[in-house]
Amino acid sequence: MRRIGVIGVLVLGLAGCTPSEEMEFVETGGEEIETSEWIGTLVEDVPKGTESLSDAVVHQITLQYKDGSEGHLSTNDVIYETTVEDIGLIAIAHPNQTPSFGVYHYSRDGEWVMHGMKHFGIAGVSKKIQHGLALPQGSMYIIDSEIDDSERPVKLWTLYDETQLVTILMTDAFSVGDGEPINQNADGAERYRLNQPSGNGLYYISQDKLILVTGNVSEEELLTLVDSLPDPSSESFPFHNSK
């Protein structure tokens, strides 16, 4: 069964449910972003046995337009795709909307399960900001979300402009065997490089939190950004101020 989602910026929160009929769409607070003729999202079940995360989201997500037509995602439009143990995070450009993107958060226990998604674009958003971070660009647009999963709550922040997109994910720390050590920060937290099919990514563990940073920017830019982040315990994380 397919369900039509809410127009504009979307967040999908699941409590470990895979059937699409059990999915509920919640409209976020903040500014609604309208993009060309897009009115909603159709969500399918991920076919059993799907191996790659990009195949999972392409199978699962279809965009619905005002004229009754549908937009289908393509693995050729993946911006970044990364996994850390059972966490999957992927960003993909939307067809027929330039620029417009979707960020999708999954977990995997045999099969891929979507826990949250954000659809957003450039038109109508507020001004770019910096928040004291060493961003790939001097300032970028920011959109955030929180997935209140009882097993593993996740917070996401996506920083983006017309061509670049970086997502910061924070969750409770757990044992991780993925990644290649890169360097150690002054706080003693080792950074680990992720082997991604698209984009670059790294993670580190600090103050009992796992921080994942990934995007379509260079590893050097990601490391510079990570070094500028405050402690995970900071109330304003990942920013240095709330203004």
8 A C-beta contact, residue 225 and residue 136 = yes
The amino acid present at 90, given as its one-letter code, is: I
Residue 23 has a pLDDT of: 29
Domain assignment of residue 92, yes or no: yes
Domain assignment of residue 134, yes or no: yes
For 82-93, what is each residue's pLDDT tens digit?
A: 999 999 999 999
**Domain count of the fold of the chain:** 1
Residue 7 has a pLDDT of: 32
Residue 122 has a pLDDT of: 73
Query: What are residue 46's DSSP bridge partners?
Result: none
Instruction: Print the domain residue range for 10.
Output: 3-228
Residue 163 has a pLDDT of: 87
Cα three-residue angle 106-111-116, rounded to 5 degrees: 20
**Residues of the chain below pLDDT 50:** 1-36
Domain assignment of residue 78, yes or no: yes
For 170-187, what is each residue's pLDDT tens digit?
A: 999 998 988 999 977 766
Residue 17 has a pLDDT of: 30
Q: 38: Cβ–Cβ under 8 A, 6 or more apart, which residues? A: 7, 63, 64, 65, 66, 71, 94, 97, 100, 119
